[in-house]
Amino acid sequence: MPERVREELPGLANRFETFVFDLDGVVYRGKQALPHAVEVLNLLQESGRQVFFLTNNSGATRQQYAEKLRAMGVDAQPEQFITSAWATALYLQRALNPGAKLFVVGEPGLKQELCAAGFDVVDTVETEIPAAVVVGIDRAFSYERLAQAQYAILNGARFIATNADATYPAEDRLLPGAGAMVAAIATATGHKPRVIGKPNPQILQPFIERGVIQPERTLLIGDRLDTDIALANLLHIPCALVLTGVSTRDDVACAPLEQLPQWVLNDLSELLGDAVNNLLVHGV
């Protein structure tokens, strides 16, 4: 792989060597790329910056996310994607025996990531209690799936959530996220899940420990205060909130300190603008 040649960039972007972008509400909404996202992402990579994508959405594999961005015109490879589905598979490889049975409330992308990690994804819990129930976004979620998940957890299966996002941004509105399914199962069982995705720092910690991501030289860009910005602050990574997704300026005004970003951007083009103009000054 050829060595990256660093070129000067205008504005805020020039301060950093690595960028970690959320996807939904930051790069796109549904099937629609957000304004300036494609141009900015390609410019960052062409200028020698390292770019990663970090998403709580467990609905697709890393390969599928790369294909989606390439179809939009972004030069993207699967290795650049850190997804809650992939992170959950890595966690379970450490926590469970190889080939353990899993009952999955989730979509094909999550199941594919778990199967690729060597697990046996089962369709029913009636004949044998699985080692864990893994929950992600599931647009076909049903009472039957809820009842099976409940039965397994009440009989000893671990309760693992890829993420607990209540919503995610589609093209023209917010839709229920994986957190809605997680909440239903938590209510039915009286059990709290182990949540793998943002803001759990475990999702990025391996990259930091290997030196792939150096917090002080990295900018994390997200659209949610409670996941993206909270994660960045836990890991002492500089962060920017972009107002093209879930959180708003009003949300920022009443957010707790641990969810406050350093910068607030109207869209990704402002990464190339004056850093001072977008600086969030915290009053005391």
> Under CATH, which number does the domain 11-56+199-272 receive?
3.40.50.1000
State the pLDDT at residue 284.
Answer: 27
Per-residue pLDDT averaged across 246-254, rounded? 96
Which uninterrupted H or E stretch holds 147?
helix 143-154
Output the pLDDT for position 145: 97
In tens, the pLDDT along 195-231 reads 999 999 999 988 999 999 999 999 999 999 999 999 9
Per-residue pLDDT of 144-161, as tens digits, reads 999 999 999 999 999 999
In this chain, the answer to whether the domains covering 11-56+199-272 and 85-193 adopt an identical fold is yes
pLDDT for the residue numbered 1: 45
The answer on pLDDT for 64 being more than 80 is yes
Is residue 283 over pLDDT 70?
A: no
Q: What is the mean pLDDT of residues 241-258?
A: 97
Q: pLDDT at residue 68 above 70?
A: yes
- Predicted pLDDT at 282: 42
Predicted local confidence at residue 3, as pLDDT: 59
Residue 279 has pLDDT above 90, yes or no: no
Which residues are designated catalytic?
Answer: 22, 24
**Beta strand ranges found along 84-169 (DSSP E):** 101-105, 120-122, 132-135, 158-161, 167-169
Per residue in 1-45, pLDDT tens? Answer: 455 677 889 889 999 999 999 999 999 999 999 999 999 999 999
Residue (of 203, 279, 282, 273) closest to 235 by Cα position:
203
Q: Which CATH superfamily is domain 85-193 in?
A: HAD superfamily/HAD-like (3.40.50.1000)
**Number of helices followed by number of strands (H, E) in the chain:** 9, 15
- 174-192 pLDDT tens trace: 999 999 999 999 999 999 9
93: pLDDT strictly greater than 60: yes
Question: CA-to-CA distance for 52 and 218, rounded, in angstroms?
Answer: 10
Domain boundaries, the chain: 11-56+199-272, 85-193
pLDDT attached to residue 44: 97
Q: What is the pLDDT of residue 262?
A: 96
With residues binned 3-state (H G I as helix, E B as strand, rest as coil), the percentages for the chain, rounded to 5, are: 40, 20, 45
- What pLDDT, in 10s, does the model give residues 125-141? 989 999 999 999 999 99
- Percent of the chain scoring above 90 in pLDDT: 90
Indicate the helix (H) or strand (E) that contains 55.
Answer: strand 50-55
| CA pair distance 193, 178, nearest whole angstrom | 12
